[in-house]
Amino acid sequence: MKRLILAVSLSAVLASCQAGGAALKPIPGSITYGGQPTQRLMKSPIGSLVPHDFTDQWGERVRETYILQPDRSLKLVDRVYLDDPPG
C-alpha cells in the first residue's frame, strides 16, 4: 500500500513539474539555496520524494518537495506556503 501511495504521489509531482514549465528557484531556507548539499543521499532510491519544512525570512511556514535525481542531487519540484493552524 505504501508503494502505491508513493507511486501516485510521485506521478502527481512529476506531472505538475512537466506542466508548469518554469523551474522553482530556491529561497533562503531551501535545502538547495546556495547550491547542492555536500552530503549525498546514498541509501535512498532514485526518484525518492524528500520533504522539507522550514520558516522563510518573512516568518511564513513553507513546505518544499524535492526529488532525488540519478546523480544523487536534489531537484526542487514543489513549494507550498502553509496556513497558520486554527487556534
Q: Is the pLDDT of residue 8 over 50?
A: no
Band the pLDDT of 4: cuts 50, 70, 90.
very low
pTM of the model: 0.70
Helix (H, G, I), strand (E, B) or coil at 60: coil
Here the cell at position 21 is: 514549465
- Residue spans of the domains in the chain: they are 2-81
Sequence-ordered strand ranges (E) for the chain = 49-55, 61-68, 74-81
